[in-house]
Homo-oligomer: A and B are copies of this chain.
Amino acid sequence: MVKNMIIGQSGGPTAVINSSLAGAIEYGLQSEKIGTIYGMVHGIEGLLEDNVMSLSAIFRNLPYELNRLKHSPAMFLGSCRYKLSGSEEEYKKVFERFEQYGIGYFIYIGGNDSMDTVKKLSDYAEKTGSDIRIVGIPKTIDNDLVGIDHSPGFGSAAKYIAACVREVAYDTSIYSIKSVHIIEAMGRDAGWLAASSVLARQDDMPAPHLVYLPEVPFSVGRFVNDVKEKLSEYNSVIVVVSEGIRDGDGNYISAAEDKGDDQFGHARLSGTGAYLKTVVEKEIGCKVRALEPSVLQRSAGHIVSLCDVSEAFNLGSVAVRAAEEGKSGVFSTLRRTSNKPYCVEYGTEDVSVVANREKTVPVDWITPEGNDVTQEMVTYLKPLIRGTTQTPFRGGLPDYIDIRHLDIKMQKYSDE
C-alpha cells in the first residue's frame, strides 16, 4: 500500500544535512511504496503549525536541483529547536497531521536532541498501535553521536578547520617576528573538531603546535608554559582550542557565557580564544590574534569533504529504505570496516542508543601532556576529510539552492 512520507530537519546546521535530505528524496522518489514526499518547514514545530510543503513537486522532474541540494549547506527546510513536551495532547496533534497528509513514513534529520524526538514519536506510535514508521538520520559537526563511527557533517567541518590552520600557518609564517594565533573550534563537550586540526600537519608543517580539548582539564598556567616552550622553537605558534575547555573544577575557560536561545539548556560559549589572547598578551607579550571561525566552520559548503557528502547522502537513502522495510525507532548509521582502504557498512541502530547521549574523545587519544592528540586519533580522522566535490559555482560564488527562490507558496517564508 502506497503511503506518503514526511521529512524534516532540526538542530544546528552542517554543510551536508541537505545531502542527507537529497539522499532521502532520491530514494523516496524511486520507491513504489512511497507516494508524495512532504517537507516539514522548520521541523516538528512547522508540522504542528501545518507548515508543510511538497518536495515531490519540486524535485521529481528536476535532477539538477536535487544535485544542487546535495551540495548546499545549512538546511533547505529550515530548522527548529523544539522539544516535544511529552503531553498526550501534543502527540495527538502530531498524529492528526500525519493522518491529514496520509503519512506512513516520518524521517527526521538531526543530532541527539532530534533523536529524542524520533524516540518519543516511535514510542507513542507503538503504544497507540500506529503503523507509521519513524526513522532518524544523524547529523552533527561535533561528532558526539554514539552508535555511529563518525557523524555526517563532522568530516566537512574537520576539513574546514584543518584548511584554516594551514592557511593561517602560511599567513603567519611570512614574518620572522614571534607571534601566537589561537583558533577556537566548536565543540562544547567533545573535542573532535579541535582535534581534527592536526590533519593540517602534512609534510613537515608543525601547525597546529598545541591542541586543547574539553575532555581533559585545562590549566592556564600550563598553557602559558606550553606556548612559551613552542615560541622558543618556532617564530609563529598556532594553538587550537575547543570552545568548551574547562579548568579542573569544571569552569569554562571563556570570556563570556550566554544561556541565550537554546531551549535544551546548553550554554552558548564564545570568547575562549579571545580570553586566552588576553592571557598571552599579559603573560608573554608577543603579537597574538584570536580567530573564531564561528558558524563558517559548519556552513562552508565550498570546501566540504567528498567522503562526508557521499556518506550523508547514503545515510539519507538508508533511513528511507529502513522505514520502507518496516523499521521504526531506529536511525541510519555506518560502521567502519576497514581503514586501508577506507570502507564503511551502512545499517540501522536503535534510537535509544543515541538519544540524549554524547560521545567524547577517548582520554587515551589525548597525549599525557594534554596539549595534543595521538596517532590513533590521526588514523581515525584522516579518511573523513578526503575528496573534493564539484560544488556548483555561478558568478564566482557557490550556487546554493534556496527554498525562497523556488516558486512555492509557504506560510513562514512568505512572511519574510
Contacts and interface: CB of A to CB of B under 8 A. Distances in A.
A173 to B, nearest CB: 7
Contacts of A296: 164, 167-168, 291, 293
Interface residues of A, number: 73
A400 B170 contact: yes
Contacts of A162: 396-397
B404 A204 contact: yes
A172 interface: yes
Given A79-B175, A289-B294, A302-B163, A73 B202 contact: no
Nearest to A399: B202
A168 B80 CA distance: 17
A172 to B, nearest CB: 7
Contacts of A170: 13, 72-74, 299, 301, 400, 402
Nearest to A308: B396
B299 A168 contact: yes
Contact of A398 (B163, B298, B382, B397): B163
A363 interface: no
Nearest to A9: B174
Number of this chain's copies in the complex: 2
A173 B74 contact: yes
A183 B388 CA distance: 27
A80 B48 CA distance: 61
A295 B180 CA distance: 13
Given A202-B394, A395-B386, A167 B301 contact: yes
Interface in A159-205: 159, 162-164, 166-168, 170-177, 181, 199-200, 202-205
Interface in A52-99: 72-75, 78-81
A168 B295 contact: yes
Given A78-B176, A235-B416, A260-B287, A295 B385 contact: no
A405 B80 CA distance: 48
Contacts of A295: 167-168, 171-172, 181, 289, 291
A103 interface: no
Nearest to A77: B174
A77 to B, nearest CB: 8
A393 interface: yes
A360 to B, nearest CB: 24
A171 B397 CA distance: 16
Interface in A383-413: 385-388, 393-400, 402, 404-405, 412
B303 A302 contact: yes
B293 A397 contact: no
Given A13-B171, A75-B174, A163-B397, 12 more contacts: A9-B174, A74-B171, A81-B175, A159-B396, A162-B396, A166-B398, A203-B402, A204-B404, A235-B416, A291-B295, A293-B296, A302-B303
21 contacts: A13-B170, A13-B174, A73-B167, A74-B170, A74-B171, A78-B175, A81-B175, A163-B398, A166-B397, A170-B299, A170-B400, A171-B299, A176-B412, A200-B397, A202-B397, A291-B292, A302-B303, A303-B303, A305-B396, A382-B395, A387-B396
Interface of A: 9, 13, 42, 72-75, 78-81, 159, 162-164, 166-168, 170-177, 181, 199-200, 202-205, 233-235, 260-261, 270, 287, 289, 291-296, 298-303, 305, 307, 382, 385-388, 393-400, 402, 404-405, 412, 416
